[in-house]
Chain A
Amino acid sequence: MTTRIVELRRGILKKNDELAAGLRERFASAGVLVLNLVSSPGTGKTALLERTLRDLRSRGMRVAALVGDLETDHDARRLAASGAPVRQINTHGICHLDAEMVGRHLDAWPDVALSSLDCLFIENVGNLVCPSSYDLGERIRVVLLSVTEGEDKPLKYPGLFNSADAAVITKMDLAAPCGFDRELATGNVNQIRPGIRIFYTSAKTGAGIEEWLNYLAGQARCL
């Protein structure tokens, strides 16, 4: 009997990475800005997106959203009230979206052509761990953190926060009642992901939304 070592040196998620690279090329050639929104459940991804879709549309931008949840189409129905095309992805127990799911749903979405969009939002399944491993071909990964979750979330979940390109602190209207320490939270985000752009928003009152929308519009223009 002989024993040998066979070197593979390949990514475990190679298939996902290849699919994501294909999507990224597709998005780039269609000239659409794609964002992947990640956070824990209940941070307010859908609330921010409801407002974002509505307000970007009123600025004349062409926007759409794919929204991931384990079950139900509640979020898709909420988002569709904005008038933007929205499609629900139900993962049926899987704790994250992957590139195959995104590609499959884009192909099965006949009324939406990527080239007719300025911005496509992908709302991931609420989870601060698993989505960080799965590239969806997005250009910008946005991590959300609500004031009710505690300022130390970035330190507890460094993998996801470190993989983000922008951060949005949500529910700022609750900052005072929660005793939210803005400087501490900002410092913690910067400690895990130095130099990242941070927005402080309330989808309810509209605070900070203008700056967030300007950022998105600017990024979409860069394509």
Chain B
Amino acid sequence: MHELSIAASIVDAVGETAAAYPGARVKQVRLRIGVLSAVIQDSLQFCWELATEGSPAAGATLVIDTLPVIVHCEACGQDSQLDGVQNFRCPRCGEIAADLRQGRELEIESIEIEDLEPDESAPKKPDIEALDPVEEQR
């Protein structure tokens, strides 16, 4: 389906970011994919190697955080996570809840890079912020 073009878009974005860290190796690319995003994760993983070949993302592992649907219920005013994508009702009060607050995400969260030479670890573009390693689970 369209996972190869999704993968190609990711590779482009990773390449743009990685260009600020010459000599560094991209170890991991982390995505946030909502369950309603219409992306099949297995297919994306399947074409990842092909899509990254010869790019700065070559050899990087692809980690996908799956985001469940969160709806806002107008009746009770609460945001709630839904168990699936089959029934858009507030799990608290049972009212219909169509106001989607999460579930369509198709985002690159972060990339993990390894600097080969510590001297070159400083990013050349000042607008890209290097942050401390984040925990695996958020």
- Chain A residues packing against B (C-beta within 8 Å): 1-15, 94-96, 127, 129-130, 132-133, 155, 158-160, 162-163, 190-195
Contact = CB atoms under 8 A, between A and B. Distances in A.
Given A2-B121, A12-B10, A159 B96 contact: no
Contact of B96 (A12, A163, A195): A195
Given A4-B130, A14-B13, A132 B114 contact: no
B1 A4 contact: no
Grouping DSSP codes into helix (H, G, I), strand (E, B) and loop, the B interface class, with mixed when no group exceeds half, is mixed
Contact of A2 (B97, B104, B115): B115
Contact of B27 (A3, A10, A127): A3
A7 B129 CA distance: 8
A155 B128 CA distance: 42
A122 to B, nearest CB: 17
Interface in B29-67: 31, 36-39
B127 to A, nearest CB: 12
B118 interface: yes
Given A96-B2, A130-B2, A191-B88, A163 B104 contact: yes
Given A2-B115, A15-B9, A130-B38, A7 B131 contact: yes
30 contacts: A1-B115, A3-B112, A4-B112, A4-B133, A5-B131, A6-B17, A6-B21, A6-B110, A6-B111, A6-B129, A8-B109, A8-B111, A12-B13, A12-B106, A13-B6, A13-B106, A15-B9, A94-B2, A95-B2, A129-B38, A155-B86, A158-B85, A159-B36, A159-B37, A162-B88, A191-B86, A192-B85, A193-B98, A194-B97, A195-B98
B116 interface: yes
Contacts of B27: 3
A130 B6 CA distance: 10
Contacts of B132: 4-5
A9 B29 CA distance: 12
Given A132-B38, A158-B36, A194 B106 contact: no
Contact of A133 (B21, B39, B130): B39
Given A7-B129, A7-B134, A12-B6, 16 more contacts: A1-B114, A2-B118, A4-B133, A6-B17, A6-B112, A9-B108, A11-B107, A11-B108, A12-B10, A13-B6, A130-B2, A132-B38, A162-B36, A192-B86, A192-B88, A194-B88
Contacts of A133: 2, 6, 37-39, 106
